Structure formats: structure tokens, C-alpha cells
């Protein structure tokens, strides 16, 4: 008799908690389920996932277009455009990697830390903008989602890495980088 009483209390407690949380029935929620969620809340995501997509980024992805550039006085901005055979590279990430020097002070290694290195996403025109970049020297790197590549200047005879000097209150324009060979090929 006592066990039945305890089970009833547990069932009543669970039912009360579900009602209190607004969950009167159990329901399987998919990633695209936004029923009853205000649009401005941002969760769950209203972005649909195309499971038929091949590769990265998803076909039809259109990041926003970069607008006016005004640096914060103590930080800098880096921008440019990446093309592959005259077509914009869209939706991939580019990074500014730290440069590491040897004991003689010669920069030898680009150190990319995906979690903390400045990152920008190529918009639908292939434009990238790094805002609020601390002054320093960086190497420009490209990521296809799995691998990262040190970007070299296109159309030069000697391979030369793209190194960027970021100055406080400055804007570094890397111009149009039009590649004939690129890691997305």
C-alpha cells in the first residue's frame, strides 16, 4: 500500500513539472521546428538544413555583403576579395594567423588557432572583412572546413605568403586575389 502511494506521488510530481514547463505531451522536436518559438529568440534555429548538400558550404548560401569600414581607434581592419578563375569564392572562412619568429627574429611559421584567430566569411562577392583586429603582423589563411591553407599572392613567379601588417586605426586593403589554382578545385 505504501509503495502505491509513493508511485502516485512520483507520477503526480512529474505531471506537475511537465505542466509547469508547458509540456503537456511529449513531442519529438526536429532541428527545423520553430512552432511556438518567437522569431527573435533565435532558438531553435529557423535555418533549414539541406541533407542533400554536397560539400561545404551549402549550395545557395549567401553571406551578407560587407558594408562601410570604420576602424576603432586602437584596432584595425583588413579586407579584400578572393576569386577563383574570375568567380567569387563564397561562404568559406579566411583567418589571420599569428606569425611566429625564430631565435633570430625571422618570421618562419603561421600559427592558426581556429578558436581565437580573427576569422571572416567570404560573402557572395568573395569579399572578406576582418573588423577589430589587434595591431600586429598576420598571415592570411583559407579554410575549406576541414583543412587550412596559407594563401600566397596569385600570379607571382616566386611563392610569397600574404602577410598583413595591421595598424591601429588603419585599414589594410589586400585588393582582389584572383587564383587560377585554389584548394576548392
* pLDDT tens by residue, 118-127: 999 999 999 9
Question: In Å, how far from its chain's centre is CA 94?
Answer: 9
Is 18 a residue whose pLDDT tops 60?
A: no
* CA 50/CA 34 separation, integer angstroms: 17
Strand pairing report for 76-84 and 119-121: unpaired
d(CA 133, CA 168): 8
In this predicted structure, the answer to whether residue 165 has a pLDDT above a threshold of 80 is yes
Per-residue pLDDT tens over the stretch 19-53: 544 444 433 333 344 444 444 444 333 333 343 43
Q: Which of 92-96, 148-152, 181-185 has the lowest mean pLDDT?
A: 181-185
The pLDDT value given to residue 87: 96
Domain ranges of the chain: 2-41, 76-179
Cβ atoms of 185 and 87 closer than 8 Å: no
Length of the chain: 185
As a whole number of Å, the end-to-end CA separation of the chain is: 73
Condensed to tens digits (0 to 9), the pLDDT of residues 78-89 reads: 999 999 999 999
Predicted confidence at residue 109, as pLDDT, reads 93
Give the integer Cα–Cα distance in Å for 50 and 23: 29
Q: Using alpha carbons, select from 106, 177, 99 the residue that is nearest to residue 142.
A: 177
- Assigned C-alpha cell, 183: 584548394
* CB proximity list for 51: less than 8 A, separation 6 or greater: none
Full-model pTM: 0.64
The domain defined by 76-179 folds into Immunoglobulin-like (2.60.40)
Which one, of 155, 148, 180, lies nearest residue 83 by Cα? Answer: 180
Amino acid at each position: 500500500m505504501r509503495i502505491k502511494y509513493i508511485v502516485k506521488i512520483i507520477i503526480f510530481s512529474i505531471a506537475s513539472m511537465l505542466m509547469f514547463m508547458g509540456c503537456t505531451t511529449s513531442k519529438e522536436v526536429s532541428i527545423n521546428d520553430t512552432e511556438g518559438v518567437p522569431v527573435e529568440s533565435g532558438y531553435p534555429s529557423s535555418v533549414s538544413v539541406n541533407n542533400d548538400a554536397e560539400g561545404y558550404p551549402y549550395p545557395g548560401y549567401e553571406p551578407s555583403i560587407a558594408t562601410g569600414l570604420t576602424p576603432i581607434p586602437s584596432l584595425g581592419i583588413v579586407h579584400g576579395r578572393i576569386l577563383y578563375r574570375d568567380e567569387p569564392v563564397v561562404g568559406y572562412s579566411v583567418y589571420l594567423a599569428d606569425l611566429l619568429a625564430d631565435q633570430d627574429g625571422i618570421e618562419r611559421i603561421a600559427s592558426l588557432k581556429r578558436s581565437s584567430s580573427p576569422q571572416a566569411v567570404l560573402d557572395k562577392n568573395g569579399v572578406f572583412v576582418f573588423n577589430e583586429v589587434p595591431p600586429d603582423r598576420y598571415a592570411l589563411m583559407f579554410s575549406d572546413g576541414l583543412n587550412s591553407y596559407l594563401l600566397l599572392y596569385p600570379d607571382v613567379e616566386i611563392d610569397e605568403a600574404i602577410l598583413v601588417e595591421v595598424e591601429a586605426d588603419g585599414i589594410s586593403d589586400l585588393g582582389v586575389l584572383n587564383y587560377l589554382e585554389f584548394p576548392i578545385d
